[in-house]
Each structure stands twice: as C-alpha cells, then as structure tokens.
Amino acid sequence: MTAVAVNTYTHSVTYVADNILKSFKDIIKFVGLDPAKLVQDWDTTMRALTGWLEGQYLTMVVLEIFNPKTNELITRWDMDIVYGWTGDGGFWTDTEQLRYNIRKAGLAPTEATYRLILRVNPGAPDVSGWGDATLRSTAGMVRQSLGSTVEHGGLGANAAYWRKA
C-alpha cells in the first residue's frame, strides 16, 4: 500500500511540475515572447520543481515579464502551490482559463524579457542552477486570481497575474 501512495505522489509531482512549465511556456508564447530560454533551461527547472515539490518546499513559481533597460516589471504570473488538495483526486490543467486571461492581459512590448523564479520555504535543499532571487516590485499593480489551474492527486497550483492598476 505504501508503494502505491509513493508512486502516486511521485506521479502527481511530475504531472504538476510538467504542467506548470507548459503553462508558463504558453504564457510566454501568447504574450509575444520567445520561449527558447525557458525550453533551454527545462531540465534544470524540472529538477528543481520536482525536488522541491516532492519535499513540499516549493511555495510559488513566478514568471516576471519586465523591461530589461529599466528593470521595471511589466506583468507577472504566479502559480501558488497547494499541498493536500481536497478535490476529487482528478488530474487536469485549465489551459482555456489561462488563454482567456493571457488575451485579457495583452501582449508584452517587443523589448520585454522574462525570468522564472521558484520560491521555497526556509530549509529547502540547494538545487544546482538555482539560488536566491528578489522579486521586482508590484507597486501600482493589482493581482488577478484565476483560481485552480493545475491539479493532480492532492497537489495543485493556483494561477494569478499582476496588471497595472
């Protein structure tokens, strides 16, 4: 019985991590940016996501879209991690919800770039290729919560994005 639970949780971790990255890839593409940097770092990012999800250290995955000349945040997309979801135990990713809200948020300026930040609880083990990062200011912005976006067997992610107030 324990082996089944471990395999199920491991499968949930893999499913949620993969779909968080796929969701961010879609966001990057649909706002008009090139996802090549995300794709190039896919394996390193998956290693960090799965490791920190497995140990329940990961709290949030953030995609910052910003102006590289001014360092000013243009928009931000968050995936808040939810452990112990009490839903039906199903698995799904709400890509239509994301696409609708990406269209609402609009295209990024051509000079924009992005970075992915993984927020973890204190005591999280180090993962090669990842370190501390400070989020850009969201002053003058409003957070739009989209609710549950990715879910699998007790593990999920709630999406939100930041827009100018």
Q: What is the mean pLDDT of residues 90-116?
A: 75
pLDDT at residue 37 greater than cutoff 90: yes
- Which pLDDT value is given to residue 153? 72
**The pTM of the whole model exceeds 0.95:** no
Instruction: Please write the tens of the pLDDT for every residue from 102-112.
Output: 777 777 888 99
- Which pLDDT value is given to residue 89? 55
pLDDT at residue 3 greater than cutoff 80: no
H helix or E strand, kind and range, residue 92:
strand 91-93
Query: Where do the structural domains in the chain lie, given as residue ranges?
Result: 2-121+128-164
d(CA 104, CA 139): 20
The architecture CATH gives domain 2-121+128-164: 2-Layer Sandwich (3.30)
Q: Which two tokens stand for residue 17?
A: 């991590």
Q: How far is CA 53 from CA 75, 135, 146, in A?
A: 25, 20, 21
- Which pLDDT value is given to residue 87? 46
Task: Give backbone dihedrals phi and psi of 53, rounded to 5 degrees, phi first.
Answer: -65, -45
pLDDT at residue 1 greater than cutoff 60: no
- Which pLDDT value is given to residue 91? 56
pLDDT at residue 4 greater than cutoff 60: no
- Which pLDDT value is given to residue 93? 61
Select, from the ranges 4-18, 55-69, 79-93, 150-164, the one with the highest average predicted confidence (pLDDT): 55-69
pLDDT at residue 7 greater than cutoff 60: no
pLDDT at residue 6 greater than cutoff 50: no
- Which pLDDT value is given to residue 114? 97
Which carries the bigger pLDDT value, residue 6 or residue 115? 115
